[in-house]
Structure 1
Amino acid sequence: MPSAPTKAALGPVRRAFSPWNDPSAIPLIRFENVTKRFGDFTAVDDLTLNIYEREFFALLGPSGCGKTTLMRMLAGFEEPTSGRILLAGQDLVGVPPYRRPVNMMFQSYALFPHMNVADNVAFGLKQAKMPKPEREARVEEMLKLVKLESFARRKPHQLSGGQRQRVALARSLALKPKVLLLDEPLGALDRKLREETQFELTDLQVTLGMTFLIVTHDQEEAMTVADRIALMNAGRMVQVATPGEIYEQPASRYVADFIGDVNIIPGRYDAGEGDARLVSEWSDAPIKVPFAPQLSSGAETWLALRPEKMSISLDAPPPGTTNVLPGEVWDIGYLGDLSVYRVKVASGDIVKVSVANRTRLVERPISWEDKVWLTWSPEQGVLLTA
């Protein structure tokens, strides 16, 4: 009996996708100097942003940063105070929501409790007056896509949270919009189901070849699903980049601190003679850092250093080791896959170090109040000027 064909991995497709690096690429969505005010409050402040066809794009930021307002303006639920929003070259200002080629999936799912799954998915198709045979075929297609074919006759209250989320997704996709808007779509799911669904969403998006725009305050969710992330603060874009770039090359202390854990070490830049260094109160000796030609000696700067880029040891490193910071273990967090150590250094500041738990047992575990030495190589840090 022949074996079933192996499903091709979608990772290479995503890695090869980067139209934002092509000067000739035309964005599908363009926010052009968009401002939105509610009375005296500016929710979105002179924002310009391009999103490309087939991109999974994430708007990330804390509550009140303007990300949901931006999505609602694209959907047509809000109008910009000034600026333009273009979709496939069409100016959307003044176009009502029902005439825009976008659909929105809400955090609450907004399923009709008196309708079964199939009727919920078919609702928008009925409103669009799609003929019944075509409508039934589309509903079957959508339920198969989200793996709910056998649940077509169930009511929403007979489904789990994850299944209700899939019904809402199928309904949003049924009309095959140019853009699917996802407003905190996984917030109601438990952590394990949320993580599984994130990968299912990315696979679905690549398979359909659609443009997805997700709003979230969950940095891990944005890092998992998105081709690019726009981090917002106070109505403005702080940085727009791929997940890897935004994590490894943050544009500011705000970005470094918002995305993952980080140690921000203040100091003054010293070009030195051959080596670039940071003179900081955190360390008795100058800290070797990447060379920064844009900085002059004496300039105030900050070293962003991720906890996993550092090593921690009970044994003093050999003489000549680069970047040694002694300290005392102040607190420990055991997270199963890794341990997080909070180490108090001589200046009184706390440095975070994370270590993967690769083995079940260690001969001499690092414990509270232990004297330890932290080390890292110069290229592991990023110098920030803002």
Structure 2
Amino acid sequence: MESFGSFRRKFAPWSDPAAKPFISFENVTKKFADTTVVDDLSLNIFHREFFALLGASGSGKSTLLRMLAGFEEPTSGRIKLDGQDLTGIPPYKRPVNMMFQSYALFPHMSVEANIAFGLKQDGMAKSEIDDRVAEMLKLVKLEKFAKRKPHQLSGGQRQRVALARAVAKRPKVLLLDEPLGALDKKLREQTQFELMDLQYKLGLTFIIVTHDQEEAMTMADRIAIMDAGQIMQVATPAEVYEAPKSKFIADFIGNVNLIEGEVVKSANGMAEIHAEKLGLTISTETRENLSAGQKVWYAVRPEKTRIEREKPLDGSINAVEGELWDIAYFGDMTVFHVRLDNGFTIKASSMNAVRKTDDPFAFDDRVWVSFDTDAGLVLTA
């Protein structure tokens, strides 16, 4: 059997023009009274894809999920699943299942009874139900807890029971609405990898709604970033982070220094951008077709910068001097806020690759922040 890692590296049906989408949202709009929650949205999702809908509260991501589940109907447009138009099909007849943040387990039922509930409702034979429940318990590693009630389980165990119940009916698509929000950070990170492994083993299409960027970046094959009912970008986690389409995306995903500037000149894949707030003309590589005098934004991630006590000797490196204003130690990395003499603050970070308890920098130190010509990205919108 092909390994999970090998499968994830090769899996990219969205790059194949001949690949047929498994789920299609075609010009879907959803209005509640005079409020447009989803606005003329089109999106394709492929079979066996782990897809994330990421956005702030009110962006429309949960409404999109609920329309796919059948709990809401589009005001206009249509949704297709495996070639079937879902218009007018009630939730219980759709080949999808949804797992909610609250888990919604029956408190008076045992673990195995909770998992078996939907199968009994479908009229499955008892012997088949017993086999399926045993299979699900093994899959989520809860065989020893089959007779327990939900209140006798930890939060992570209840989450796995809800997951087992959701996939026991073999839906074509599993919808996850903020499924890990009730878990603590360490357990949430562990469960993310368990979900990825489970999705691969079952060969199902998973769609997760989340506002947690790290969660989406960790689990998803692709991410759709939503804002005000529209999709701002659909791409792999690496593409969203390293090649955002706009300053909105760059600012939304991770930490970034967004610096407004004006193009001085641009030729042969290089540009010079005057950034007044830095007091510097940035030299950068770019694929954008830029014109002198054009307003742009330069985006550089803190980890793509360096922080040093002395000015870099290489004159081609972009460098600014300032005062170390804030230091945040996260264990694996340290983030520095450097305030320039004009009051503008730039963020830098460094990995703590060597074990130590003291820091080479202190508050109020004069330092230099530098970055190479290929460190950042020029954004025109």
Q: TM-score, normalized by length of structure 2?
A: 0.97
- Deviation track 1:177-227 (CA, whole Å, cap 9, x = no partner) reads 000000000000000000000011101111111100000000000000000
- Deviation track 1:26-77 (CA, whole Å, cap 9, x = no partner) reads 0000000000000111100000000000000000000000000000000000
More divergent stretch after superposition (341-350 vs 120-129): 341-350
| Aligned counterpart for 2:38 among listed residues 31, 37, 44 | 44
| Aligned counterpart for 1:367 among listed residues 362, 376, 381 | 362
More divergent stretch after superposition (153-162 vs 374-383): 374-383
| Aligned counterpart for 1:312 among listed residues 287, 295, 307 | 307
Alignment of 1:265-344 (within 5 A): 265-272=259-266, 275-318=270-313, 320-344=315-339
Letter in 1 for 2:88: G
Cα distance in 2 for partners of 1:347, 1:85 equals 53
CA shift, 1:134, in A, is 0.3
3-state SS of paired residue (1:379): coil
Does residue 92 of the first structure (1) align with residue 86 of the second (2)?
Answer: yes
Letter in 1 for 2:183: L
3-state SS of paired residue (1:189): coil
| Aligned counterpart for 1:228 among listed residues 222, 227, 239 | 222
Which residue is equivalent to 2:122?
128
3-state SS of paired residue (2:224): strand
Q: TM-score, normalized by length of structure 1?
A: 0.96
**Residue 271 of structure 1 contacts residue 291 of structure 1 at CA under 8 Å; is this kept in 2?**
no
Cα distance in 2 for partners of 1:266, 1:106 equals 41
More divergent stretch after superposition (337-346 vs 169-178): 337-346
Which residue is equivalent to 2:66?
72
Cα distance in 1 for partners of 2:353, 2:273 equals 33
Calculate percent identity across the aligned residue pairs.
61
Q: Whose strand fraction is larger, Structure 1's or Structure 2's?
A: 2
Closer, same or farther: CA 66–364 of 1 in aligned 2, 3 Å: closer
**Residue 288 of structure 2 contacts residue 378 of structure 2 at CA under 8 Å; is this kept in 1?**
no
**Residue 266 of structure 2 contacts residue 291 of structure 2 at CA under 8 Å; is this kept in 1?**
no
Alignment of 1:1-386 (within 5 A): 9-272=3-266, 275-318=270-313, 320-361=315-356, 365-386=360-381
**Residue 283 of structure 1 contacts residue 346 of structure 1 at CA under 8 Å; is this kept in 2?**
no
Cα distance in 1 for partners of 2:53, 2:320 equals 37
Closer, same or farther: CA 269–101 of 1 in aligned 2, 3 Å: same
**Residue 14 of structure 1 contacts residue 206 of structure 1 at CA under 8 Å; is this kept in 2?**
no
**Number of residue equivalences:** 380
Closer, same or farther: CA 213–266 of 1 in aligned 2, 3 Å: same
Cα distance in 1 for partners of 2:374, 2:66 equals 42
CA shift, 1:164, in A, is 0.2
Cα distance in 1 for partners of 2:2, 2:12 equals 20
Cα distance in 1 for partners of 2:163, 2:252 equals 29
- Deviation track 1:127-182 (CA, whole Å, cap 9, x = no partner) reads 00000000110000001000001111000000000000000000000000000000
3-state SS of paired residue (2:280): coil
CA shift, 1:293, in A, is 4.2
3-state SS of paired residue (2:108): coil
Cα distance in 2 for partners of 1:80, 1:364 equals 56
3-state SS of paired residue (1:265): strand
Cα distance in 1 for partners of 2:84, 2:341 equals 60
Letter in 2 for 1:341: F
Letter in 2 for 1:165: Q
3-state SS of paired residue (2:73): coil
CA shift, 1:346, in A, is 3.1
Cα distance in 1 for partners of 2:7, 2:15 equals 16
Closer, same or farther: CA 208–116 of 1 in aligned 2, 3 Å: same
**Residue 278 of structure 2 contacts residue 344 of structure 2 at CA under 8 Å; is this kept in 1?**
no
Unaligned runs of 5+ in 2: none
Cα distance in 2 for partners of 1:239, 1:114 equals 44
Letter in 2 for 1:30: S
Cα distance in 2 for partners of 1:319, 1:224 equals 37
Cα distance in 2 for partners of 1:319, 1:289 equals 15
3-state SS of paired residue (1:45): strand
Closer, same or farther: CA 219–293 of 1 in aligned 2, 3 Å: closer
Cα distance in 2 for partners of 1:383, 1:177 equals 43
Root-mean-square deviation over aligned CA pairs: 1.4
Cα distance in 1 for partners of 2:271, 2:133 equals 62
3-state SS of paired residue (1:221): helix
Cα distance in 2 for partners of 1:24, 1:271 equals 41
**Residue 339 of structure 1 contacts residue 355 of structure 1 at CA under 8 Å; is this kept in 2?**
yes
CA shift, 1:345, in A, is 1.6
Cα distance in 2 for partners of 1:363, 1:111 equals 49
